[in-house]
Amino acid sequence: MSARILVSDPMSEQGLALLRESGFTVDYLTGKKPEELKAPLQEAEGWVVRSATKATAELIDGAPRLRVIGRAGTGIDNVDVQAASRRRVIVMNVPGANTVSAAELTFALMAALARHIPQAHASLKAGRWERTSFAGEELNAKTLGVIGFGRIGEALAVRARAFEMKVLAFDPYRTQQSAGPANEWVTLDDLLRRSDFVSLHVPMSRETRGFLGAPQFALMKKGAKLIQVSRGGVLDEAALFEALKSGHLGGAALDVFEKEPPEGSPLLTLPNVIATPHLGASTVEAQENVSVLIAEQVRDALQGKGIRNSVNLADLGLAEGN
């Protein structure tokens, strides 16, 4: 009897085919409620999720044969890693697979903020011709502060420098030398005070929840703009609303929210906010990349061919590649 893998979020046909051709039985069940996943998890040895499915302790504990959870993406805040480690279940992700897509969306949102593109588009579609209402600003010679200088933050910096922007970088987990000489390494407070645009690229954790709030917004330049394409909850949305409504911040572009979908969010009522529905990895290329890579990793782990990109190997007493 072949091992079963539950895939509970959308996955490309190429990723699904790779698993089936490797001899696994794949239960492809997307859009299901948690209670509807309990039965297939009874037999699953592997479980592939994206961001919609919540791999809770209850579901993990109710999966007696489960050995691997694969997150087709980077963030793992929807997976109870502690519960998985307690059950000796390997949790892995695919960092880097959506780097270009997320960096390009961030840059597109920054340009849209600078030139009021969504507002001008809506005005024209409504039959108005308001050229003088949407005077914007150039990105050239402006300062971009990148908070979280991992793969996506660094890719964004490369694109910003191509537009002759000055890049300030802050990341408590990296050194200036590891990020290269082209970026100025600064403290968080210095970055906030000096930046015309601030882009947030930090993972969601207990340490980063509410990472930017009222004190940090108060440090930012009057009229500065914020771009958020990381994880919902890493900024205080109520404090951001007040900073934008008061005019202290000039605008914000948001791709992620603490609650998704953000029904009733007052941020969406502000004219200086533009928003997209969590599209950071929503490109054909990124979707294919994450699907194939996580399929390969789950296959190899279940077939004893090695473990890659696990986030809880230390807790399990294992080493990468074992």
Catalytic residue list: 231, 260, 278
Which residues, 6 or more positions from 78, have their beta carbon under 8 angstroms from its beta carbon?
A: 49, 51, 52, 53, 54, 55, 71
Q: Is 310 helix (H, G, I), strand (E, B) or coil?
A: strand
Size (the chain), residues: 322
* Nearest by Cα to 199 from 247, 167, 240: 167
User: What tokens does 134 get?
Assistant: 């949407």
Which residues, 6 or more positions from 213, have their beta carbon under 8 angstroms from its beta carbon?
A: 235, 236, 239
User: Exposed, middle or buried: residue 190 (CB in 10 Å: 0-12, 13-18, 19+)?
Assistant: middle
DSSP string, 14-79: HHHHHHHHTT-EEEE--S--HHHHHHHHTTEEEEEE-SSS-B-HHHHHT-TT--EEEESSS--TTB
Helix (H) or strand (E) holding 169: strand 166-170
Chain centre distance of CA 222: 27
Alpha-carbon span 304 to 276, nearest angstrom:
40
Q: Is 291 helix (H, G, I), strand (E, B) or coil?
A: helix
Helix (H) or strand (E) holding 91: strand 90-92
Long-range CB contacts (within 8 A, 24+) of 150-153? 150/95, 150/174, 150/201, 151/95, 151/96, 151/99, 152/99, 152/102, 152/103, 152/106, 152/201, 152/229, 153/199, 153/201
Alpha-carbon span 159 to 103, nearest angstrom:
8
